[in-house]
Amino acid sequence: MIASVRRHVPGAHLIQMTDMLTDPLPGVDLITRFPRGPDFILFRFGLLDTLPRADTMMLDYDVIVQGDLAHVFKRPFDLALTRRDATDKTISSFMLEKIPHNAGVMFSRKTGFEFWRGALSAYWLETSRNGWLDGAMAMELALAKTRLNVLDLPCSRYNYTPATPDEDVSMRVCVHYKGNRKAWIGGPEAAQAGLNVAYNTIARKFAHGSV
């Protein structure tokens, strides 16, 4: 993923967010760390709170960027999330209805980072705190209450999950090889996708005046 960001978003400042033990990935500019306990969602929300408050794009490490994303920041929003629709054949009807957003690709301005404290509160107070699904539900609960300007971007363009390894994804800006699809990544990205890491998210901070 790092090579794809360097290729399509020149000048990106890449920040690796991970635990206290994982080695830095080759090619990142900065690494931020947060202690990992038994609850992965608390760990992830904690990592998001370590980011500098600036125009930022957050990518899971199994996302491949295929086009420049600076144009997203020309639109008005505090937080921009990618939303699934009925064209996504890789998810269940439950996910489409109850958890339509996929956090693998996200965009935030300085004003948007407060959202994650609301999501953490929802996770702690309104769910059973039982893993990934409750974390995703907490995000939806926080979205229902937030007063922030939230922009929905289509997953079909900005966070697309292919159904088969030979699917044509050339028209997608970001392709998310989540789960066992990591094995489908080829080229210089393949080694990074196969890393046995506790957690890695790459944040790209947009330089002032670059969008």
Write out pLDDT tens, residues 113-129: 999 999 999 999 999 99
Q: Is residue 194 part of a domain?
A: yes
C-alpha to C-alpha distances, 135 to 42, 51, 145, 210, nearest whole angstrom:
9, 19, 16, 33
pLDDT bracket for residue 11 (50, 70, 90): confident
The count of structural domains within the chain is 1
pLDDT bracket for residue 206 (50, 70, 90): low
Between 173 and 11, the higher pLDDT residue: 173
Q: Is residue 210 part of a domain?
A: no
The backbone torsions φ and ψ at residue 200, rounded to the nearest 5 degrees and listed phi first, read: -140, 125
State the CATH number of the domain containing residue 118. 3.90.550
Q: What's the pTM?
A: 0.87
* pLDDT(197) > 50: no
The residues, any chain, with a CB within 8 Å of residue 205's CB and separated by 6 or more, are: 12, 13, 15, 51, 52, 54, 55, 56
Chain-centre distance for alpha carbon 201:
7
Express as a percent the part of the chain with pLDDT over 70: 88
CA distance linking residue 100 with residue 182, whole number of Å? 22
First to last CA, the chain: 21
CA distance linking residue 193 with residue 175, whole number of Å? 13
* Domain enclosing residue 49, as ranges: 2-205
Helix axes 132-145, 40-48, angle to 10 degrees: 50
Q: Is residue 179 part of a domain?
A: yes
Q: Which two tokens stand for residue 50?
A: 């370590």
Q: What is the mean pLDDT of residues 185-193?
A: 56
Q: Give the amino acid at 111.
A: T
**Hey, CA dihedral for 37, 126, 102, 80, is it positive or negative?**
negative
CA distance linking residue 67 with residue 105, whole number of Å? 14
Q: Is residue 211 part of a domain?
A: no
CA distance linking residue 81 with residue 152, whole number of Å? 5
Q: Is residue 36 part of a domain?
A: yes
